[in-house]
Structure 1
């Protein structure tokens, strides 16, 4: 399964999807064609990618089910939505967008390109809760979080490993890759940084052992 297909599948059950940073509009196209969603709002901060999405969606014959809006995150979005997709961005940008004033959706699908542990911590400190996690490998390892409004408290270990990802056998390769990277960093680190990496390596060893049983 590709990253686009995984993101699309997770939209199932959403009526109107707000795709922030829609880029080429591929997730919207797949989700509409497969019946996961009924309609969508394609949102971009820059005109060129929004036009790319418009052309791709038109070529798929789906323009009548998609509203296009030039907006920095939620700021110019007026039409109602019940699901939000924010994918392919850095963790800090996703945090900034989620902090913008908006009517809370029933479902958020979030895929940050870095610092997944910090995104988990932010989410659970800002009146959201994680309800599922998915790992995908497509040239790189990606982790997708499925989030809804609510309350959840995570330990330091759960922020790093994930409350649900550890239960999915397909996540083993993601954890093994993370272990390789951290092991290399640990060899070069010193002092407190070395100790912090060692703690994370312990977390990984435990979850890898469980998944390999």
Structure 2
């Protein structure tokens, strides 16, 4: 059995059982292998832009005798995926901007029957704004800490309805599902964010007469207000 990180295991268990999964940016192919070995997915498609990682994925798939159940494809994002070929599309280990670009370019294969499970490693707040702009409904979101880093994992699907107009910037920045569920890992993250924010603010206050520093302090104050608003969900 293949061994995978807690982050990828969380992604795997957010997949609906019996769904065919296309893993974009599969790297070594560990997620598709795990999904099939655990009986979560009957089959999978491992896709990557780079030949090197895809060759490694092929080797790992062969080593686990899963060539008949996991396909590999050299693909720029969703380019080599056809409509309705996969029930779930996973995209992990990339920045939010890159994931948004992949989703935008591949929107022709994302239907109302398609579930997306994504884990943006940066620009997460902006990425949630992107989901809203594309009418992608968030059904679930999880957060975990692994090797000292925090990860957001978002499960969403396409909708014809605009249901997000009521969300605040706090919810965009930290995830409405996580806040509603009073997620413990998010709480830990918020406390660390506040400590870091306060530390930077205190170190800059001695130079607050400087216009550049003054602007930075205003930005930090705005961020602190959002953090405090997020923490109020835990009262």
Give the TM-score taking structure 1 as reference length. Answer: 0.90
Q: How does 1:154-169 map to 2 (within 5 A)?
A: 154-166=167-179, 167=181, 168-169=183-184
Equivalent position to 1:95, from 96, 100, 106: 100
Listed as ranges, the gaps of 5+ residues in structure 1 are: none
Note closer, same or farther for the CA distance 1:203–1:138 as it changes in structure 2 (3 Å cut). Answer: same
Aligned: 1:122 with 2:130: yes
Aligned: 1:86 with 2:91: yes
User: Tell me, what secondary structure is at the counterpart of 1:68?
Assistant: strand
Aligned: 1:196 with 2:219: yes
Equivalent position to 1:146, from 152, 155, 169: 155
Q: How does 1:1-213 map to 2 (within 5 A)?
A: 2-13=6-17, 15-78=19-82, 80-101=85-106, 102-105=108-111, 106-139=114-147, 140-150=149-159, 151-153=162-164, 154-166=167-179, 167=181, 168-187=183-202, 188=204, 190-211=213-234, 213=235
| 8 Å Cα contact 1:13-1:37 kept in structure 2 | yes
| 8 Å Cα contact 1:107-1:147 kept in structure 2 | yes
Identify the range of structure 1 (184-193 vs 167-176) with the bigger mean alpha-carbon deviation: 184-193
Q: CA RMSD in A?
A: 2.0
Note closer, same or farther for the CA distance 1:2–1:95 as it changes in structure 2 (3 Å cut). Answer: same
Give the TM-score taking structure 2 as reference length. Answer: 0.82
Identify the range of structure 1 (30-39 vs 181-190) with the bigger mean alpha-carbon deviation: 181-190
**For 1:184 and 1:119, how far apart are their aligned partners in 2?**
27
Larger radius of gyration: 2
**For 1:195 and 1:148, how far apart are their aligned partners in 2?**
37
C-alpha deviation, 1:122, in angstroms = 0.7
**For 1:159 and 1:110, how far apart are their aligned partners in 2?**
16
| 8 Å Cα contact 1:130-1:152 kept in structure 2 | no
Note closer, same or farther for the CA distance 1:172–1:56 as it changes in structure 2 (3 Å cut). Answer: same
**For 2:232 and 2:34, how far apart are their aligned partners in 1?**
36
